[in-house]
Chain A
């Protein structure tokens, strides 16, 4: 298995532009999580899905952030418009069932200038 695949690995964009981060979970994993890593707060949960349905989006910082999971093998996290304070590493993780272990992707490093 190729693991959780995230793209792009790095993204540099100008303030005000739309940014889309992508994630392909492990096949058979029915939970998908989006986390953001910052120096001050570590790993923050933004949103998670179960069977493609958003369960908890209370961690999404603002309306500028949105996430979708149109099918079991693909999810996107979109920021529109982007701001410099959105600069962080964004991780996607998936797991099988409620008690399965998390597998993280390698992350997308976002820089908004």
Chain B
């Protein structure tokens, strides 16, 4: 049973515009959330994270928002660049579960020039 869900398998956005990726989770014990980025033939790499005590974390062009009551988080990329074209995975973990990561199915982002 998938505890982390990314319901949009793909997203296409024009260069310079905002990319918004969504993620939902079901386990209320999750207290740490992360986004990973994956290029073809490479392993996922860490992008940005947020603790459950916050509702927003920003790092350059990337911002993650957390809505605990809705069990929902989102990743905003502004402005989108061609190098952002990749698969983005949402992940969640909890202290009670050794911080092992549960991942969503991923969203493929394509940034059009």
Contact = CB atoms under 8 A, between A and B. Distances in A.
Chain B contact residues, majority secondary structure: loop
Contacts of B101: 33, 45, 102
A42 B99 contact: no
B46 A43 contact: no
A106 B98 contact: no
Contacts, number: 52
Report the interface size class on chain A.
20 to 34
B98 A43 contact: no
A93 interface: yes
Report the interface size class on chain B.
20 to 34
Interface string A58-94: 0000000000000000000000000000000001010
Interface string A1-14: 00010000000000
Given A33-B100, A48-B100, A106-B41, A101 B105 contact: no
Contacts of A99: 99
Nearest to B90: A42
B97 to A, nearest CB: 9
B103 A43 contact: yes
Contact of A104 (B44, B102, B105): B44
Given A42-B2, A42-B106, 14 more contacts: A39-B105, A42-B6, A43-B44, A43-B106, A45-B101, A45-B102, A45-B103, A91-B43, A93-B43, A98-B95, A106-B41, A106-B43, A107-B42, A107-B43
Interface of A: 4, 33, 35, 39-45, 48, 50, 55-56, 91, 93, 98-99, 101-107
